[in-house]
Every structure is written in structure tokens, then in C-alpha cells.
Structure 1
């Protein structure tokens, strides 16, 4: 770690502002094809927990859904510092782990599956329509937690990422591509988060 990186780390640790407890990362299938991409992801997990996060979510957008199983195997075999739950298209089992990864599992499909499950419960008489509220929807989402900070590398767009959960998240876009993402880039994201006044839609 260089002098500038140590300075950033000190600022993150000594400021009175809170650090994000749940950090989310949006990358692409193409990002993971770059040499060293999985090593960077492993390091990203380590940085997040080192600087105060308790949960990390990664969304990998894919152009070819057929690539999802291969990516899932690579991610499940990753030497991560915490338990990892990987979900891919058509896998809507709830993901409860310190590190959750969605591969091509878009927010629209996740939300649609939750609504379909609610409709079935109402139709079967297991749920009163008056009991359909935000909590009922959130209980049926694959990724249950709302990120405090969402980091997107390479471009200023989120694709189809966690439409419901990220509505009040702080968004951080960097033009640094994933292959070049370093600890200092992560610390810059945390520092910007600490400098913001979160309003939660108000």
C-alpha cells in the first residue's frame, strides 16, 4: 500500500462519518474474462470487510445466459473471506450469506417472481390481499438486504440491478475498468459515501 492509499485508509477509519455496512458491486460477464479478474474480486471482498462492511452483494450482468453456470462454478470456488451464495437465472431461492452473487438474475425478473408468488398465495387463500405490503414483497426477494453503497465500474449505468433494493442506495460510478480496480479506488468510493448526506428519498 502506497502513501496515498495509507492516507485514504486513515481518513476512512478516523472520520466520524459511517462506513457502508452493505456494499454492492455491479460488473459484467466480460469483466470476469479479464486476466486476474477473480483475484480482484477476492481482494474486493477483503477490502469491504476490512473497512467495516458486514454484507457484500455482486451483480454480474451477462449477455449470454448460457455462460451463467460456468461463472457460477468459478465464483463458488473462489477463496472468499466469508460464505458465498451464488444465484443465477431461474434460481429464486433466497440468498442469505455475507456475500451474495447474482449472475444474470435481473431485478425485473426477481421482482416479477416475488409478485407471482404473492399472487399464488392470495389465490390459494394463504394470504389476505390486505396483507400484501412492502414487507410481504421483500420477504420474497432473492436478495433481501438493501445496499448502502452501490459501486459500478466502467460506465454510468446499473443495467437491471436490484430495482427494489437499491432505490435509496448511494450510487458511485467510476470510469476505472474492473481489471484496473485497486484498493485506492475502493477507498475513494467509501470516502465519497462518507461525504454524502443520505436522504432516503426525502
Structure 2
């Protein structure tokens, strides 16, 4: 064992201690951006569950996960989405009681859900932020046409009420690259961004702790 490998467990414990001692500055809502291939990698789902468990341990209340479906063929995308939904529901069933979740499909429909009271997970399978905003606008237009909403009542707050995810993420985490994806486009305008060159298949507990600790040390400006 080299010196670096020997030091990792001690560094992990140190980071965990630092995060716990400044828990008042821990993010409440974390977003993760993945690709379908990340989940299908060997132990990809296991790594996701481990990551979610770490967040829960440190009192994060909400985790939003976007799985980018890279295939263009509609039938293949639908098949992949169905497979992922099944895997996610099976895996989430092992999470502690009190954990709730919603899994959204390609068109933003709910493909699976469970009530929760202290920790919640949103998963979007290929339903991106631009689609989310477009659907919200069309829904509001229908309500205006139906007369249940007056045009002068339409504002940012009303649009936000029609989005799938109502809460702004404190931090967006992207592994294996330096670009964001089409996820929570409206909600993430003031989110902190954290990029790591480590690919998802190689992400360790240490990398997740680093992201959380990095957030704690930042001074948020909210666009100012």
C-alpha cells in the first residue's frame, strides 16, 4: 500500500468531521447529473445508493438526480427509461424508512413514487429543464384559456409552482466533465456548481465529502 492510499481513510474522517462541525452550512438540496451509462456501469447503481446514503447521513433533505438518456431513438430511450425505473425502485426499496422519492419519465410523468418524511429523492430520467419549463408554460396557457387564471396573475411564482421540482438546489454536482446538462434550468440559476474530473465509476466517498466541504467554504452571492 502506498502512502497516499494509506492516508485516504484519515482524510475521509477529517472531512466528515469538518462537515459535521459546520453542519449549519451544509446544503439542504443537492443535485447530481449523470448519464445512463453511469448507472449501467458495474456497481453504478450501488455507487448512487452509497452517495444518497452519505447525503442522508449529513442531514441533506432533498437530492435531485438527472439521468441523461443519450440515445436518440425514441423506442430505445423508452426501453432504457423503463429499465432504469425498475432498477431504481428496487434499489430505493432498501433505503431507510422515511425516505421518499419520485421518478419522472421522458415526458415528465411520474413513473414511481413513495411517501417520505425526512429525506426525499427526485429522479428525472431524460426529462430536461427546457422541457420542464415548456410544459409549465403550456399548462398555464391552458389555465388562462379556461378562465381559471387571469393573464395579469401570471408571474415567476406561478411558473415555479408548475415546475416538477419546486426547490432550488444549493449545489449541482457533475462528475467526469466540466459542462452542465439540461436539468433544473430555472431552479439552478443561483446554485453553486461543482465539477470533478473523476468519472462516476471511480467516484469515492472521499469525492462526495470533498464536494460537500467545498460548498461549506464558499460564500454564496446569489447572482450578486
Alignment TM-score, normalising by the size of structure 1: 0.94
Instruction: Give how far 1:125 is off.
Output: 0.9
Instruction: Give how far 1:183 is off.
Output: 1.2
2:53 counterpart of 1:46: yes
2:90 counterpart of 1:68: no
Instruction: Give how far 1:52 is off.
Output: 2.2
2:41 counterpart of 1:14: no
Out of 128, 144, 150, which is 1:128 matched to? 150
CA–CA separation in structure 2 for the residues paired with 1:15 and 1:163: 29
Q: Which residue of 2 aligns with 1:201?
A: 223
CA–CA separation in structure 2 for the residues paired with 1:143 and 1:80: 21
CA–CA separation in structure 2 for the residues paired with 1:166 and 1:124: 31
Deviation per residue, 1:4-33 (Å, 9 max, x gap): 100111111113760000111100001111
CA–CA separation in structure 1 for the residues paired with 2:108 and 2:15: 39
CA–CA separation in structure 1 for the residues paired with 2:22 and 2:39: 34
- RMSD over equivalenced CA pairs, Å: 1.8
1:159-198 equivalences in 2 (<5 Å): 159-198=181-220
Deviation per residue, 1:7-66 (Å, 9 max, x gap): 111111113760000111100001111100111111111100111201111000011222
Decide whether aligned partners of structure 1 residues 52 and 16 sit closer, same or farther in structure 2, where only a CA change above 3 A counts: closer
Aligned length: 202
Runs of 4+ with >2 A deviation: none
Q: Secondary structure at the match of 1:43?
A: helix
1:95-134 equivalences in 2 (<5 Å): 98-134=120-156
Which ranges of structure 2 fall in alignment gaps of 5 or more residues? 1-7, 72-76
Q: Which moved more, 1:21-30 or 1:77-86?
A: 77-86
Determine if contact 1:21/1:54 at 8 Å carries over to the other structure: yes
Q: Which has the higher helix share?
A: 2
Deviation per residue, 1:153-190 (Å, 9 max, x gap): 00111121110111111010001111111111011001
Q: Which residue of 2 aligns with 1:85?
A: 102
Determine if contact 2:108/2:132 at 8 Å carries over to the other structure: no
Q: Which residue of 2 aligns with 1:36?
A: 43
Q: Which has the larger radius of gyration?
A: 2
Which ranges of structure 1 fall in alignment gaps of 5 or more residues? none
Q: Secondary structure at the match of 1:30?
A: helix
